[in-house]
Structure 1
Amino acid sequence: MGGTGDSVGNADKRPNEQLTSWFVRSGWSKGELARQVNRRARQMGANHISTDTSRVRRWLDGEQPREPIPRILSELFSERFGAVVAIGDLGLRTAHQSPSLSGVDLPWTAPQTVELIGEFSRSDLMLARRGFLGTSLALAAGPTLIEPMQRWLVPAPAAPTAAQEPQIQGRRGSRLSGPELELLEATTVMFRKWDAQCGGGLRRKAVVGQLHEVTDLLQEPHPDATARRLFKIAAELAELAGWMSYDVGLQPTAQKYFVLALHAAKEAGDKPLGSYILSGMSRQMIHLGRPEDALELIHLAQYGSRDCATARTQAMLYAMEARAYANMGQPSKTKRAVRMAEDTFVDADESAEQEPDWIRFFSEAELNGENSHSYRDLAYVAGRSPTYASLAHPVMGRAVELFGRDKEHQRSYALNLIGMATVHLLQREPEQSTVLVGEALDIAKKVRSERVNTRLRKTVATALRDFGEVAEVHDLTDRLAVQLPETAEAV
C-alpha cells in the first residue's frame, strides 16, 4: 500500500470511471490534484497524507483511498464545479464514520451524548476554517430525520444503581461551585445576545469552543442536580451553535448541532427547551423547502411540551406551525395557526422575566414578523396572490415598526425590512421596495449573517427581473454589488 497509508487494497480492482470522468472535466493534471489534496490535508491537520501522481493514477485505476481522502476529493471537486459532488458520485466509498460525523439516529444515553457532542465540537473547531466539516456531512430529511427525533418522547430508562452509574452522573462532590455554574449560564446568555446583534458569523467558533469545554466538565462526577444543569447549558450552547451554523449557511452542521442539543435537553429533563430546539429544526426544514418535515417537527414539539411550556413558547410554536402550513399551500390551516399564536401570546408574561432566556426573543415584534411571513409565503405559493399580500402588509408593517425601536435584534430588523420589501414587490410597488432593501443593506454591512445577505440578493434579483425598467431598481442593484460583494463568510 505504500508508505503514506492513504489507500486500502482492493482485490477486485477495476478502473474508476466516475472519478476519471470528474477528473478529466476538471482540467487538472494528476500532479495538480495531488498537490491540492496534500494542501487540504495539511489545513485540516492530517499531516500524514502525502499524495503524488502515481497515487492519483492508482485511484483512477480503481484503488480505494482511505479517509479522509474521499471527503477531501468530494470537497475539491464540489468547489471546482460549484455544485455538490458527493463521495459516491466519485465512485469512492468511505470508511465507517463515528456517529458524530454521520447520521442523526444517535443513542439516547447520557454518556454517549456527552461523547458525541465533545467529538463533534472538537472536529468543528479543527476543520471549520475551510468548511470541511459541513461538506462531509449529509442532511437528513423525511422519515430518516423524523423517526429518530420521535424518540425524544420515549421515557428515559430507570436511573442506574450506584455500582452501575456512569461517571458523568456520579454522586460524589463536584468541583463546580454554584457561582461557577451561574457564570456558565450567564455566558450562554451573552452569546445569545451577540448572535442577535451581530449575526451568526462573528462568534460561532467561540460558542463551539464553550460547548466543548462544557462537555469536558460533563466527563467529571457531579451530583444529579449539577449534571442536569450542565446538560441544560450544553443543550442551549449546542442549539445556539446550530442556529449560528444555519445563519451562515452550514446546513448539515446546523442540523447535527440541533440533534445533539435535543439529546442534551432530554438528559436535562427540559421539555420546553427540547420543543424550542425542534422549532429551530423546523425553521431549517422550511428554509430547505421541506415544509412537511417542518410540520412533523413542530407537532412533535407541541405534543412533547403541551403540559409544561409557557404561553410565549406555545405561541412561538403555533407561529412556526403557521409557517409550515403556509409553505404547504394550506390557507385555512395557516390562518387558524396564526390566530392561535395571537390568542396564546395574549397570555404571555409581559416582562418575560419569568421565562427562560432562550424564549425571550419571541416578542410582539417577532410574533408579527412570523405571522406576516406566513401570509407572504402563502402569497408566493398561491402564485403571487394579491389577497395574501394584502393580509401580510399591515402585520409586516407592525413588525418593522417594533423592530425599528429594538437595538438588540438587528438581524431580525433586517430580515423583516426585506420581508416588507417582498410584500411591496408582490403589490407591484418597486420604488417602496427599494427603500426598504436599502435600509436592510445598511444593517447587513454590520451583521455577519449569510441568511440576510442571501435574502437581500434574492429580493434584488426578483425586483430586477420584474421591474428592470425602474431606475431605483437599477441603482439598488449597483449599490448591492459594491457594498455587499459575494465573498465567503468567516465561521
Structure 2
Amino acid sequence: MAVGQPDDTMNHPLTYVRRVLLGTGKIRFAEMIRDHGRKLGINMATTRTVVFKWERGDHDPDLIAQRVIGDLLQVPDSVRTSTPWPYWLPAWEPTSSAVPWSQAASLASPNRLAERGSMDRRGFLSVGGAMLVGVGTQWSTADPAIAAAAHGDAVTSAAVDLMSQRVSSLRSMEEESGGPHFLESGRTDLRLITRMLDEGRYSEEIGRRLYALAAEVCCLLGWVSYDASLHTAAQEHYGAALRAAKTAGDDRLGVHTLCFLASQAANHREQTAAVGLMDTAEGARSKVPAIMQASLAAHQTTVYSKAGETRKAAAALNRAFDAFGRADRAEAPAYLTWFGEAQLGSTEGRYLLISGQARRATEALERSVNQASPRDKAVRYGTLALAYQDAGNLDGALEATHKAADLIDAGIHSQRGVERLQDVRRALRPHRNESRVREVTERIASLV
C-alpha cells in the first residue's frame, strides 16, 4: 500500500460511482454497460480494460458511451449534455458555492469540517471548470464583515496567542514527515477555534484574529489532504479557508489559499480554472507584502507551465525572484515561513524541465533538494530523477530515485512522493531490461 494513502481512496468519480453507489467491480460494471446499451438499441463493446482506462483518466468515454452510462445512472439528459465529463456523474455532494459569503457561513463551513469524523476517501476534485473559477471570484468581490460577540466566556488576546502557537507547532511537525495522521490533530485545533467563535465573547479585533486562525488551520488541513491525495477534502478545506480569510479581512491569507487551490487544479488537468484562480489572486498582489508576491509569482510559474503558457511562466518566474530579492523575511506570516530559496529552486527546476531544458533543470533541482525539509526532499528527489532521466543521465536518475525511496522507507508519509516515483517508473521504461533499473522499479512498486 502507498505510504500515507488510505487503501480505499478513489481517484476518479467513476470509481466512486461504481464502487460506492453501484457496489460493483470493473468486470460487472462493463457487463452492466453492455446490457443497458442493448436495451437502448446500442451495441457496446465495453470491457474491464476500457473501464480501467476511463477511471485512470487515460481516455474519456465517447458521447455514445456517456449516453449509456448517464441513462444507466438515471442522470437527466439535460444535465449530462450541459456538463462536461466527468462532472455530471453523481459523485459529489451539493456544492457550497451558492452559500452567501457571510460571517455565519464563514463559521458554519469550518465547523462542519472540524466535526466530520472520518477522512474523505475520494481523490478527485469536488468542483472544476467555471464553478471553480467562481469560487475565486466570490472571494475577490465579497465584503469582509465581522461583528463582536456579546455573550459567553471572554476570549482574551492571550488565549488566541496560545492557540496560534499550537497551530504553528502542528505545522512544523507536518513539515518534517507529512501524512494524513495530522488531519485529526488539525481538526481538534479547528474545533477549539470554532467553539471560541461560536460560544465566546470577544471584540471585533479578537474575532478577526480567530477567523484568520480558522482560515489558517483550514488551509493547512487542505494541504495535508492534498499531500495524501484526498482531493475532495482538500478543496472543501481550501473553500472554508477562503471564507474565513475574507471574514477576517486578511488578503494575504486569501491569496495564499488561492495559490494552493490553483496548483491543485493545475495538477488535475483543470488548466483553465487554475489560470482563472491565479488571475484572481493577481488582482490582490498590490495588497500583500513582497514575500507573498514572490510566492504568488512562483505558483503562477507552475500553473502557467502546466497550461503550456511558457512565456507567461518565464515572466512569472522572473517576478518571483525579483520579489524575493526585495522581500523582508520578517514580513512572512507564520504559514509562509516554508517559502524560500529551496522552494524557488524547485519552481525554477520544474519550469525548466517542462520547457525542455532538462540539464539546467537538474542544477536548480539539486540546489533545491539540498535545502529542502525531509518531507519535501522525498518529492523533489523524484522530480530530480525525472530531470536526470530526461537529460540522459541514468546513473543520476537511479541514485535520486533510491534517495527518495530511502526517505519514504524511513517514515516520510507523502503520497505526492510516491506518485512522483510512479512517474519515474514510467520514465524508466526504455531501460527496463537493465538489472539495476528492474531493481529500482521493483522498489517503487513495493511502495505502492
State the TM bucket, normalised to the shorter chain.
Answer: 0.7 to 0.9
Alignment partner of 1:392 is 2:384 = no
* 1:444 corresponds to: 408
- The one of 326, 330, 345 equivalent to 2:305 is 326
Residue 157 of structure 1, CA deviation: 6.7
CA pair 23-209 structure 1, distance change in 2 beyond 3 A: closer
* 1:255 corresponds to: 235
* 2:137 corresponds to: 150
Residue 290 of structure 1, CA deviation: 2.0
CA pair 338-25 structure 1, distance change in 2 beyond 3 A: closer
Q: Is the 8 A contact 2:358 2:387 kept in 1?
A: yes
Matches within 5 A, 1:95-174: 101-105=93-97, 106-123=99-116, 125=117, 127-128=118-119, 131=120, 134=122, 139-156=126-143, 169-171=148-150
Q: For 1:24 and 1:207, locate their aligned partners in 2 and report how far apart those are by CA, in whole Å.
A: 34
Residue 310 of structure 1, CA deviation: 1.6
* Other structure's SS at 1:143 match: helix
Matches within 5 A, 1:30-429: 90-91=73-74, 101-105=93-97, 106-123=99-116, 125=117, 127-128=118-119, 131=120, 134=122, 139-156=126-143, 169-171=148-150, 175-220=154-199, 221-304=201-284, 306-349=285-328, 352-379=329-356, 388-403=357-372, 409-429=373-393
Q: For 1:449 and 1:294, locate their aligned partners in 2 and report how far apart those are by CA, in whole Å.
A: 23
Q: For 2:323 and 2:96, locate their aligned partners in 1 and report how far apart those are by CA, in whole Å.
A: 33
CA pair 461-148 structure 1, distance change in 2 beyond 3 A: closer
Q: Is the 8 A contact 1:279 1:320 kept in 2?
A: yes
Give per-residue Cα distances to partners, 1:381-420, cap 9 Å, x unaligned: xxxxxxx2133222112212323xxxxx211112221111
Q: For 1:109 and 1:260, locate their aligned partners in 2 and report how far apart those are by CA, in whole Å.
A: 12
- TM-score normalised by length of structure 2: 0.77
Residue 460 of structure 1, CA deviation: 1.9
Computing the radius of gyration from Cα coordinates, the structure with the larger value is 1
Q: Is the 8 A contact 2:301 2:313 kept in 1?
A: yes
Residue 173 of structure 1, CA deviation: 7.7
Q: For 1:285 and 1:371, locate their aligned partners in 2 and report how far apart those are by CA, in whole Å.
A: 20
Q: Is the 8 A contact 2:359 2:388 kept in 1?
A: no
Q: Is the 8 A contact 2:345 2:364 kept in 1?
A: yes
CA pair 282-82 structure 1, distance change in 2 beyond 3 A: closer
* 1:64 corresponds to: none
* Other structure's SS at 1:307 match: helix
Alignment partner of 1:479 is 2:443 = yes
Q: Is the 8 A contact 2:215 2:245 kept in 1?
A: yes
CA pair 313-339 structure 1, distance change in 2 beyond 3 A: same
How many corresponding residue pairs?
Answer: 379
Q: For 2:109 and 2:229, locate their aligned partners in 1 and report how far apart those are by CA, in whole Å.
A: 22
The AA in structure 1 aligned to 2:231 is Q
Q: For 1:223 and 1:119, locate their aligned partners in 2 and report how far apart those are by CA, in whole Å.
A: 24
Residue 481 of structure 1, CA deviation: 3.5
* Other structure's SS at 2:283 match: helix
| RMSD, matched Cα | 3.0
Q: For 1:286 and 1:149, locate their aligned partners in 2 and report how far apart those are by CA, in whole Å.
A: 15
Q: For 2:155 and 2:188, locate their aligned partners in 1 and report how far apart those are by CA, in whole Å.
A: 19
The AA in structure 2 aligned to 1:274 is G
Q: For 2:96 and 2:302, locate their aligned partners in 1 and report how far apart those are by CA, in whole Å.
A: 24
CA pair 202-300 structure 1, distance change in 2 beyond 3 A: same
CA pair 122-24 structure 1, distance change in 2 beyond 3 A: closer
Q: For 1:138 and 1:458, locate their aligned partners in 2 and report how far apart those are by CA, in whole Å.
A: 21
Q: Is the 8 A contact 1:104 1:148 kept in 2?
A: no
Q: For 2:125 and 2:74, locate their aligned partners in 1 and report how far apart those are by CA, in whole Å.
A: 17
Q: For 1:24 and 1:442, locate their aligned partners in 2 and report how far apart those are by CA, in whole Å.
A: 37
Q: Is the 8 A contact 1:101 1:120 kept in 2?
A: no
* 2:6 corresponds to: none
Q: Is the 8 A contact 2:292 2:332 kept in 1?
A: no
Residue 344 of structure 1, CA deviation: 1.2
Q: Is the 8 A contact 2:144 2:249 kept in 1?
A: no
The AA in structure 2 aligned to 1:156 is D
* Other structure's SS at 2:127 match: coil
* Other structure's SS at 1:448 match: coil
Q: Which has the higher contact order (CA 8 A, sep 6+)?
A: 2
The AA in structure 2 aligned to 1:473 is V
* Other structure's SS at 2:233 match: helix
Q: Is the 8 A contact 1:199 1:447 kept in 2?
A: yes
The AA in structure 1 aligned to 2:129 is G
Q: Tell me which moved more, 100-109 or 250-259.
A: 100-109
Q: For 2:104 and 2:298, locate their aligned partners in 1 and report how far apart those are by CA, in whole Å.
A: 35
Residue 27 of structure 1, CA deviation: 8.5
Q: For 1:343 and 1:275, locate their aligned partners in 2 and report how far apart those are by CA, in whole Å.
A: 19
Q: Is the 8 A contact 1:174 1:223 kept in 2?
A: no
Q: For 1:367 and 1:27, locate their aligned partners in 2 and report how far apart those are by CA, in whole Å.
A: 46
Residue 271 of structure 1, CA deviation: 0.2
* Other structure's SS at 2:206 match: helix
* Other structure's SS at 2:276 match: helix
Q: Is the 8 A contact 1:292 1:324 kept in 2?
A: no
Q: Is the 8 A contact 2:156 2:206 kept in 1?
A: no
CA pair 154-342 structure 1, distance change in 2 beyond 3 A: same
The AA in structure 1 aligned to 2:132 is L
Alignment partner of 1:454 is 2:423 = no
Q: For 2:375 and 2:71, locate their aligned partners in 1 and report how far apart those are by CA, in whole Å.
A: 38
Residue 199 of structure 1, CA deviation: 0.8
The AA in structure 1 aligned to 2:348 is N
What residue ranges of structure 2 are gaps of 5+ in the alignment?
1-17, 29-50, 58-65, 77-91
